């Protein structure tokens, strides 16, 4: 994939799995969700987590695209807001993260040349803590979290509102994320260039691609 630098005027980044990759933090989030699922189902956290994975896989198979943890929670009777209230209260990302100078140098450089936004399915409390733990430079003109809409990606209304607020043609807005179905499929359908990055090394290729 090759991007034309002059054609891109804005970049919308995902956060988790894109600006950092941390299996231990992902596992901590999974344990919190499992405890909530267990309470909803009247069972143990282990059984709740297993049921949650089964529901998420079933929905993915039925719908043909990867489904989020939030969708699975709603399916078993929970709410997105309660799920994220628990994440915010129970999870401290600091033991799992450390700054990566490569990522921060990349963001600093891109922030001088492009309008950079952050669009994440994470909540504002945890997002703020993650950005602080990573010492991410203040390059984002806007940070959009689940608290702004309570509509997790992928969501057409959220995407269309974002593009309207950016006030530029879709082909000038690059979306960068680690899950195609969740972060990139809808933007691509709208005519936005997209970049799938599942590791920090892949993220670092963005500079050369531009």
The yes-or-no verdict on residue 69 having pLDDT over 70 is: yes
Q: Which two tokens stand for residue 38?
A: 């267990």
The pLDDT of residue 6 is: 59
For the domain made up of 5-21+98-209, give the CATH fold. Answer: Rossmann fold (3.40.50)
The yes-or-no verdict on residue 195 having pLDDT over 70 is: yes
Helix (H) or strand (E) holding 185: helix 185-189
Per-residue pLDDT, averaged over 105-128, amounts to: 97
Domain spans of the chain?
5-21+98-209, 24-92
The answer to whether the beta carbons of residues 120 and 127 sit under 8 Å apart is: yes
The pLDDT of residue 210 is: 87
Per-residue pLDDT, averaged over 143-159, amounts to: 96
What is the CA angle 36-17-144, rounded to 5?
Answer: 75
* Prediction pTM value: 0.95
Task: Look over the chain and give the mean of its residue pLDDT values, rounded to a whole number.
Answer: 96
The yes-or-no verdict on residue 4 having pLDDT over 80 is: no
Per-residue pLDDT, averaged over 60-78, amounts to: 96
Per-residue pLDDT, averaged over 119-128, amounts to: 98
The answer to whether the beta carbons of residues 52 and 34 sit under 8 Å apart is: yes
Per-residue pLDDT, averaged over 13-35, amounts to: 98
pLDDT above 70 covers a percentage of the chain that reads 97
- Concatenating the DSSP letter of every residue in 112-166 gives HHSEEEEE-SS-HHHHHHHHHHTT--S-EEEEE-GGGTS-PSS-HHHHHHHHHHH
């Amino acid at each position: 994939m090759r991007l034309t630098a002059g054609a891109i005027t804005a970049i919308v980044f995902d956060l988790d799995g894109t600006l950092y990759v941390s299996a231990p933090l992902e596992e901590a989030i999974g344990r919190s969700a499992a405890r909530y699922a267990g309470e909803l189902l009247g069972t143990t956290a282990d059984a709740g987590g297993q049921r949650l994975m089964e529901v998420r896989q079933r929905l993915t198979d039925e719908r043909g695209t990867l489904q989020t943890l939030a969708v699975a929670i709603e399916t078993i009777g929970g709410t997105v807001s309660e799920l994220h209230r628990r994440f915010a209260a129970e999870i401290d990302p600091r033991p799992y993260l450390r700054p990566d100078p490569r990522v921060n140098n990349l963001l600093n450089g891109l922030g001088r040349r492009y309008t950079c936004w952050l669009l994440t399915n994470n909540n504002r409390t945890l997002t703020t803590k993650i950005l602080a733990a990573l010492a991410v430079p203040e390059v984002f003109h806007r940070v959009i979290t689940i608290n702004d809409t309570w509509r997790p990606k992928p969501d057409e209304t959220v995407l269309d509102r974002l593009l309207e607020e950016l006030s530029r043609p879709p082909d000038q807005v690059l979306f960068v994320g680690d899950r195609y179905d969740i972060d990139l499929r809808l933007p691509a359908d709208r005519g936005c260039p997209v970049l799938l990055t599942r590791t920090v090394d892949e993220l670092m290729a963005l500079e050369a691609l531009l």
